[in-house]
Amino acid sequence: MIDMRLIIVTSLCCLVTLVRAQITITQAAMPSANDTIRYSSVAPAGVNLNIQQKGASQSWDYSKLVANGQDIYRYAAANNTPYLLYFFNQVGLKTADSLGAGPVMLKNIYSFFTKNSTVFKQEGIGYSYQGFPLAAQNKDDDEIYQFPLKYGDSDVSTYNFRFVIPGNLLTFVQAGVRTNVVDGWGSIVTPYKTYPNVLRVKTLVNGTDSLITQFGRVPIPRRQVIYKWLSADEKIPVLEMTGTETGGNFTATQIRYRDKYLGLVSPLRPQAGFSISKSSGFVTVDTFTLTDRSRPFATGWNWQITPGAGVSFVSGTTAGSRNPRVVFRQAGLYNVSLVASNTFGTDDTTAANAISVQYGLSVDNFNLSEKYFYPNPARGQITMVKPGTLQIFDATGRCVLQCKVSASQVVSIHALPVGVYTLKVNDSAAMPLLHY
C-alpha cells in the first residue's frame, strides 16, 4: 500500500527546493556607486566550458579554473566624475585611462549605466579630450538586463551608439540587437566560493560596428555570445564567458569570475620601459625625445621629470604623450619616470640621473648660427646674414628681443646681461648665442 503521507512530504520537500532555487534577479543585484568589485581572468585554452549544461536544478562545477590575472571594477556616481553635466544620477565605470594616440588622444574614459525596477542599461561614455570633459550618448540605450529576471524569461532589445572622434576625422557607430535567454538555474562552484542559487543568462549580440570616414562606411559584423551566472548576492556575474558560437559550438575568448585578492596581475598589463634620444645636452638648445618601450602595449602614459622646474614639453607634446619631446631651461641632472597603463593595469619605471644638461653651446647649432649672424660669441652686437624676424630668448624661454632685420644689419645686444641665449630667425632651428 502506498503511504500517502510519504508522497505528500516528498512533494512538499521538492516544492520547497524548487522555490528556494529559482531566484529572481532585480535591480538590487546590479552595481551601485562606490562599489569596488574584484574579478579574476582565466586563459580560455583548455578550459572545460560545460556550456551545454543547462535547464532546471543544475550543478555547475568550475572550481578548477586557474586565474592568470586580476583587476577591479570601480563604480562611481556621475557627480563624482567630470561628466556630471552629461549623466545625471547615473553610475559610471572607468574603463580606460586613455585611448588613441597623437592628435586623437582620449583620457579618463567612463561608461555610464542606469538601473531601475525594470532595466539595467548602458547610456553612453564620458571622455576627456585636450582637457575638456565630453560625452557620447547612446541614440538607443543598450538594455543589458530587463527585470525581474527569472528562469525561462527572454527579452529582445536594440541598441545604437554613435561616437564622433573630435575633429570629425572618424565616426564610430555600433548598432544591433541584444537577445537574453535565462536558460538555466541551480548552483555553481567557482574558485572563489559556492553559490547555491544562481541564474544562467545566455546573451546573443548581433550587430554591426561601422567606421565612417570621408571615403565611405566600413561595416564590421559583431557576433558575440555571452554566458553569465548571476547571484542575488553579487553585483557582477559570479562567472562570465564571452566568445563566439558556430554550429552550436562555443569558443570562449574571455573568462572572468568574481574573486578575492590573489596578488596576480594580468599578463597583458604593461611592463613600463622607455629610451631617451641622448643623455646630455645644453640649456634651451637641445631637444630630448622620450620614447615609450612598454610591453606588450600601453594605451596611457604619464611622464614625470624631476626636478620639474625648467622643463618644457615642446612640439605639441605633453606629459601624457606617448613619445614626448622636452627642452630644459636650467642646468642639472634630471630623473625620468614613466607610468604606463592599459585596461589590464599599470606599471612604472624610473631612470635616475638620466639626463645631464649644462649651459654651453651645441656644436651643430653653433655652426648653423654662422649662416644667420656673426660673431658668436658676441660682445654688444651681432651682424645679420639673412633677413627676417629675429627673436632672442633667455634661459627661461622668455623672448627678450624681437625685431625685423635685413641682411648685413647690425643689431645691438648691449642691453642684454652676459649669458647664454637662444636665437631664431623666422622658422629656423634654435641657435645658441653667447653674449660675454
Q: Can you give the pLDDT at residue 154?
A: 97
Answer yes or no: do 119 and 171 share one domain: yes
Residue 338 lies in a domain: yes
Taking the C-alpha atoms of residue 133 and residue 417, their distance in angstroms, rounded to an integer, is: 45
Q: Which residue has 568550475 as its cell numbers?
A: 62
Residue of 424, 430, 421, 432 lying closest to 396 (CA atoms): 421
Q: Can you give the pLDDT at residue 393?
A: 85
- Beta pairing class for 171-189 and 55-61: parallel
Q: Can you give the pLDDT at residue 394?
A: 80
The domain spanning residue 405 has which CATH number?
2.60.40
Phi-psi region of 364 (alpha: psi -120 to 50; beta: other; left: phi over 0): alpha
Taking the C-alpha atoms of residue 187 and residue 367, their distance in angstroms, rounded to an integer, is: 79
Taking the C-alpha atoms of residue 426 and residue 376, their distance in angstroms, rounded to an integer, is: 19
Answer yes or no: do 244 and 182 share one domain: yes
Last-in-domain residue among 258, 286, 315: 258
Q: Can you give the pLDDT at residue 129?
A: 84
Fill in the amino acid letter for 206: N
Q: Can you give the pLDDT at residue 13?
A: 42
What are the b/e assignments for 105-115, b being 16+ CB within 10 Å? bbbbbbbbbbb
Q: Give residues with Cβ within 8 angstroms of 150, minimum separation 6.
A: 22, 23, 24, 25, 182, 199
What is the number of domains present in the chain?
3
CB of 39 closer than 8 Å to CB of 258: yes
Residue 9 lies in a domain: no
Q: Can you give the pLDDT at residue 144?
A: 98
Answer yes or no: do 87 and 227 share one domain: yes
Q: Which residue has 641632472 as its cell numbers?
A: 333
Cα 401–chain centre separation: 44
Answer yes or no: do 391 and 426 share one domain: yes
Q: Can you give the pLDDT at residue 385?
A: 92
Taking the C-alpha atoms of residue 241 and residue 59, their distance in angstroms, rounded to an integer, is: 17
Q: Can you give the pLDDT at residue 421?
A: 82
Residue 158 lies in a domain: yes
Q: Can you give the pLDDT at residue 148?
A: 96
Which regions of the chain are under pLDDT 70? 1-21, 100-104, 166-168, 359-366, 395-396
By residue range, what is the domain housing residue 323? 274-358
Cα 327–chain centre separation: 28
Last-in-domain residue among 358, 388, 421: 358
CB of 433 closer than 8 Å to CB of 283: no
User: What are φ and ψ of residue 10, in 5° steps?
Assistant: -65, -40
Answer yes or no: do 245 and 100 share one domain: yes
Answer yes or no: do 161 and 70 share one domain: yes
